[in-house]
Amino acid sequence: MTDTPTQTPSESPTQAGPLPRLDRRRAVRLFGDETGAATAEYAIATMAAVAFAGLLVVIMRSDEVRGILTDLVRRALTVE
């Protein structure tokens, strides 16, 4: 019967040692392709805007806010 060494969680057969240094050429190769990044940013911004608009609709439906805004408009349009 032979004893097999046990592996700790940090040791794995696929681990080859420390990672290579991230130089400019390697960074461009790894992170250079940003296809669709702008589209994703626009999608996130649009979702945030829709959520904010929904929140404003909920706030504007309250009677108290409606009364405040109506009073504000009446005071702005009243000539003394």
Residues 60-74 have pLDDT tens digits of: 888 998 899 899 999
The Cα–Cα gap between 54 and 67 comes to 20
The answer to whether residue 15 is domain-embedded is no
Residues 11-38 have pLDDT tens digits of: 555 666 787 788 888 887 877 777 677 8
Q: Range of 77's domain?
A: 52-80
List alpha helices for 1-80, DSSP H.
Answer: 24-31, 37-60, 63-77
The answer to whether residue 40 is domain-embedded is no
pTM of the model: 0.43
The answer to whether residue 64 is domain-embedded is yes
The answer to whether residue 62 is domain-embedded is yes
> How many folded domains does the chain comprise?
1
